[in-house]
Each structure stands twice: as C-alpha cells, then as structure tokens.
Amino acid sequence: MNAPIADLRVDYRAGELEVNDLASTWHEQLSAWLGEAREAGLPDPNAMVLATVDDEYRVTSRTVLAKDIDARGVTFFTNYTSEKSHQLRQTRQASVTFPWYGLQRQATVIGTVELLGKEETAEYWAGRPRTSQLGAWASPQSATVRDRQTLEDLFATVEARFEGQDVPPPPHWGGWRLLPTHVEFWQGRTSRLHDRLRFRFNPARGDWVVERLAP
C-alpha cells in the first residue's frame, strides 16, 4: 500500500551553493546550471514552468521550452493567439521556473516580457523540424476542438497546402522574451535549510545585487 502523500519527502544532499560559487551574472549562472542539467542527462533540461496572470488576477501555469538565454533575458516561442500570449499582452508580467529535480535544484526568473522581432522569430523558425512547423499552422492553440481527428484533419490540410515548398512562419506565431528583475537559484540542502541566492536588479543604481534568502 502506498504511503500517504504527506509522508513523501527527500532529505536533499546533492550539493550546496555559496555566493562565491555564482557566476558574475545571472545569465551566465543560469546557462551553467542548464549545461550541468544537460550533462547529467536530465529529460528536457530546458523545460521551464511559465506562470502568467490575466487582468482579473487569475494565474495560469504550463511547461514551455526555453530557446535562448542571454544578457537580455530568457526566450521562448508560442502561438500569439494562445491563452498564455493573451495574458502576457494584458499584463506584460511573467515568471518561469526550471525544475531540475534530478540535481535537487531549481532556478526562477521573474520580470516583464517583450515580443521578439520578426527577424529573430524567422531565424529560430528556420531550424525547427518541418512537422513542428506544420503543427504551428494547424493547431488553434488553446481553442476548443471537437476531438483528436479534428486536429489530424487540420494537420493534413496544412501538409497538403505546403507540399513541395518551405513552410513560412505563421503570422500568429513567434517569440517572447522574459526580461528579468529577479533571478533566484535554489539548491536543496539537508534539514530543509536550502540555499537560495538571488540576483536582484537595483533600478536606483542600475546594476544587480546578490542576496541570500532564508529557505
């Protein structure tokens, strides 16, 4: 018989995190941890839980894939008619969490969002598998559909439409960039005394400060 959920727990002992362990910038640190997650063979190491809120303060979360990390922010791509894009347009606020459970780590990025330009979208689009390109045209993301066959029929229609030619980016599809104001790195520790180090942007000084947070 399975134990009650309340009894499930792990005493985290995989590592520790000190200020001196951090890279000089949040994006270098995030890229380093993502690289270590890849080397460890974790599934979908660039998967992140994206949380958004609408103008009535209803919060929604879902998993998306990060496609770029640099000094500007964290980039992902999606349908601009989706629920997530609708909420991002309403509030311009979001957060993402990278859940690297296998390393007993997570990283959370909080900030505002901006749309990517058409050139950046086109550059990423050109490297997508053709089936993913066709799926972006076929799926009315977040809309109600009658059944699975409806999606299969939409895909078949799009496949026939672009047979023998390159698939261009749909006008309703593209990228978002999350521009951080806070980036927290969390390392699980024993006795629930986890290490939490946060990069926080100080607008008064125009630079970043590093803070330790109580677990």
62 is catalytic: no
Q: Which of 12, 1, 6, 7 is nearest to 192 (CA)?
A: 12
Confidence of residue 127 (pLDDT cuts 50, 70, 90): very high
**Looking at residue 143, what is its pLDDT?**
87
- Mean pLDDT of the 174-197 span: 98
- Tokens matching residue 3: 């134990």
Per DSSP, what are the bridge partners of residue 55? none
* Residues contacting residue 114 through CB under 8 Å, at least 6 positions apart: 92, 176, 177, 179
**Looking at residue 202, what is its pLDDT?**
96
How does pLDDT run across 56-101, given as a tens digit for each residue?
Answer: 999 999 999 999 999 999 999 999 999 999 999 999 999 999 999 9
The DSSP bridge pattern shows strands 173-187 and 74-79 to be: antiparallel
**Looking at residue 1, what is its pLDDT?**
76
Confidence of residue 189 (pLDDT cuts 50, 70, 90): very high
- Tokens matching residue 107: 């990283």
Per DSSP, what are the bridge partners of residue 136? none
| Catalytic residue, candidates 192, 196, 200, 205 | 192
